[in-house]
Structure 1
Amino acid sequence: MMSQTLRSLLCFHQKVMPNCSKQKLLKVVRTDWYMDSINVRMFEGLTQLRYLNLNSSPSDKGGQGDEYEQRYFEKVIGTMKCMQTLRLNLDCLYFPDCAWQINTLRHAWTSSNIPNLPTSTKLSNLQTLGVVSPNESWETDQLPNLPNLCTLYLLNRSCSWMVVAAFLGTLNNLITLSLDGYFPGDIFDMRDFPFYQNLQYLQIELCGENSGETPNEMVIDVIMLPPHLIYLGIFSCRFQQDVISVLENLYCLKHLELQNVQTNRKMKSSAKGFKQLEKLWLYYVTVLEDWEIEEGAMPILREIRISNCQELCVPQGLRHLTNLQELSWVNNGHEGKEDEVRNLCKHVPSLKFSYE
């Protein structure tokens, strides 16, 4: 039996969640993915909750849920007037509309999509929002008003760039931005957005109008990207140039991740590039054949992960990376490359090899 003075309830590796409706002083509740289902009645009366993070295994309802359950869930959440963080990774329940009436709400997240982000209403305390899709019905004078938003995860499948750009143009304080879906090729040019100088974490994944398509080949210049980026992740993009030679001029960058990126067959890391880079991850850069690493390049790099770059020859310049602590070499062609990597990286404490 749980104590009625319990403040936090964390459920890990449990199929069924214990009934916590009598623990009126609870402030934190979190479940993990092992949960088969969530009974919303267990949360009735928990008006002191500050943090609610619900996860459950995929259901057979296809994300539609039960209308009565949804209404009941709205009622329960509406009583939690102290809520600060609401994270829902549930197939069967939508993000509740009533949450936007909770003035203390700072972090709102759902694994699927927030269906009804309010327009015009000012959500002054909101700092984190995801996953949200822009709506074609938004008017430029009735965009969501999020003056203090710092983190945004935006999914776009059909909305015009004009609406998306208008929404992004209202966000002055963004530090973290994730863009997933259909965007124009010049999405990397962020100079006109008010968060250009503030943004530190950026992830972009592009597709065509139809799922699985990639956009036309793009050309980017380092000046297009926010100058103070610490993390940059680029997924499913096609470029006309050696992307590394452009990105290495981002002088604050510490972590670069490229996945399913089509670039030149030859890539070059120059002696003056990536002065602050600590982590470099390359996944499914399938056309890459040669990577030249000049002596002096990436002087403080600690970790490299190269996965499924099967055409890539072993970069001889790996021997120049004297501060490298970990190299992961996964499914990059024949196993004969392993000995070559070992000979070049005798100075690296951790070498990890895997072949599928």
Structure 2
Amino acid sequence: MTSPRCSSAPVHGGPDAAGVPLFDFSTNSNACGPCPEALHAVQAADATRYPDPAYTALREALGAFHDVDPGRIVLAASASEFIHRITALAAQQGSVKVVVPPHSYGDYAQAAQVRGLEVLRGDRSAAGLQWACEPSSPLGLTDPALHAWRQGDADAAWRVLDCAYVPLRLDPEGTWTGAPSRRTPSACWQLWTPNKALGLTGVRAAYAIAPSDCEEQARALTALAPSWPVGAHGVALLQAWMQASVQQWLVHSLRTLSGWKARQLALCTDLGWAMHAGSLANYFCAQPATTTLQSDLVALRPRGIKLRDATSFGLPGTVRLGVLAPAAQDALRAAWQAVLGPAGRTIPHSIGSRETL
């Protein structure tokens, strides 16, 4: 069915008109960051010169990191820029439908809607441009499309897997080990944005890997890009991303995040929030025990707390929380109790329960 939920102006977490939140639960950035070595590389980047417009050395290094031909690497200014660019190319080459997960990042649908394409949610039988995210956002689950993609059963001209959170999986089976996993389907495009894993979301840089038989599409996507889509700081970030020491830092940070996540889940349960179970990532969704969530979120903001309202994901009454350090969690507890008062405002049974969803 056509989605009615995405507006022309996507909602995002992070800083807003009120500035930078003191305790920002609204983004999925690695709260152990920034990675010191990656930060140093960005700060030391030579911003007085253009990068190589073809990004020759960078593409060769990324190809070696993923064990693919450099011709399959497409640089992008950001994941969002690539989402719009590949949607434009798909439309240019005849696609009229875009399939997105039932709950997903708003830019997938927004890029389609501004080009007049039909947006379908979860209908994997439709040919066209299909999106999946591993693990999904906001729920942190394995996207069911991946099984079909691995089996080669999906009938689509374009399939794109958003790998933004692959390095931030915390489950034992999928935890990042310092190199890309072979579990990632090879018969689809892969979109990588290391800035989240490295705790440097302000540095906008991304890259995509074309399937082995799609180098012509990769060249077409490169031709659609403006000159120098990635600046010197983005190049420095991507180069640092591939360093063994940076990968070791990331692996170590996942152990810390796992402990913080367990504590944060327990805190939210203690507050009486209903949890969406099964998140594999450094974030999860919860339904706060309140009937006035919108005004409560506004009231939390001056107290230094920002949560991500999940209404734009199709989950009204729900928030997505990135995992933060214990001090931030304690601040969330104190602010929530201050806003609601000692008795709180219990959510009616017809809206939800305080048990795991």
TM range (shorter): under 0.3
User: TM-score, with normalisation over the residues of structure 2?
Assistant: 0.24
Flag the structure with more relative contact order, 1 or 2, with Cα contacts below 8 A and sequence separation at least 6. 2
Which structure: greater strand fraction?
1
User: TM-score, with normalisation over the residues of structure 1?
Assistant: 0.24
Q: Point out the structure with max Rg over C-alpha.
A: 1
